[in-house]
Structure 1
């Protein structure tokens, strides 16, 4: 059975370094409610955006737990330096070198053994504001 702490640490390793253990936890038809896509390969695309947008990445885990309905919540901040335009919501902003703190809350449904669904709330605007301030 997947444990919340196990998922949290795997996610932190993935968002900071692209470690594959997180995607290995996913069912082949995992539904990502953020993108509307299905499958672990969706996360390959997201990783390419992260890797090309932020350098010197590290994940700060704030907490994790199991919600009343059994879903797993992971609260994390990705710290890094803005170096590129990979994230679609960064638009045409030039690499700024800004240090960013990208706060995120992820929720995962499971079937006990695999992650089956994903939702997220992220502070994309906070990252955009840091990039814009550095480019001003």
Structure 2
């Protein structure tokens, strides 16, 4: 990935979530990089550094195919980069949310639906790499587009079964 400015690095790190390799993440994130949004993510995404951020990408890619971000605006002030974007994709796998103590909270089984929601990503940089990330997302809009909310009685049953399945997998791991 070719980058020229800190803003380019931040934008590249966002696009890497959809298609980047672990090598890409290692070139884009500092060894102590932190994702402030990882509290509802799997345990391996809660650490620091490129491997933890790549685990976030793997978690998203497990649930969503055709995952991409359209960048609308980028603002840089010193070591802070803000990106206004639209995230889109199609849910083809279960989306699993986790509790603060890293247990499976709920699993949303796939329905094959697409979504497109706006997000604002804030990234702090050190040198020529991203060291910190946090975001504002339209999670309600996404859940409505994917049919999670309001859930039909049948979908609630599917969620219950998917959540049990994911908890069983986590217990065996």
For structure 1, the residue ranges without an aligned partner over 5 or more in a row are: none
Measured after TM superposition, the shift of residue 119 of structure 1 is 1.4
Q: Structure 1-normalised TM-score?
A: 0.80
Residue 18 of structure 1 is matched in structure 2 by 20
Task: State how 1:1-136 maps to structure 2 within 5 Å.
Answer: 2-8=5-11, 10-19=12-21, 20-35=23-38, 37-67=47-77, 70-88=79-97, 91-132=106-147, 136=152
Cα–Cα, structure 1 residues 88 and 73, in superposed 2: closer, same or farther, change >3 Å? same
Q: Highest CA radius of gyration, 1 or 2?
A: 2
How many correspondences in the alignment?
Answer: 134
Q: Which has the higher contact order (CA 8 A, sep 6+)?
A: 1
Q: What is the alpha-carbon distance in structure 1 between the residues aligned to residue 13 and residue 37 of structure 2?
A: 16
Relative to its length, the structure with more helix (as a share) is 2
Question: 2:146 aligns to what SS in structure 1?
Answer: helix
Q: Structure 2-normalised TM-score?
A: 0.65
CA contact (8 A) 2:9 2:130 kept: no
Q: What is the alpha-carbon distance in structure 2 between the residues aligned to residue 91 and residue 133 of structure 1?
A: 11
For structure 2, the residue ranges without an aligned partner over 5 or more in a row are: 39-45, 99-104, 153-173
Q: What is the alpha-carbon distance in structure 2 between the residues aligned to residue 60 and residue 87 of structure 1?
A: 24
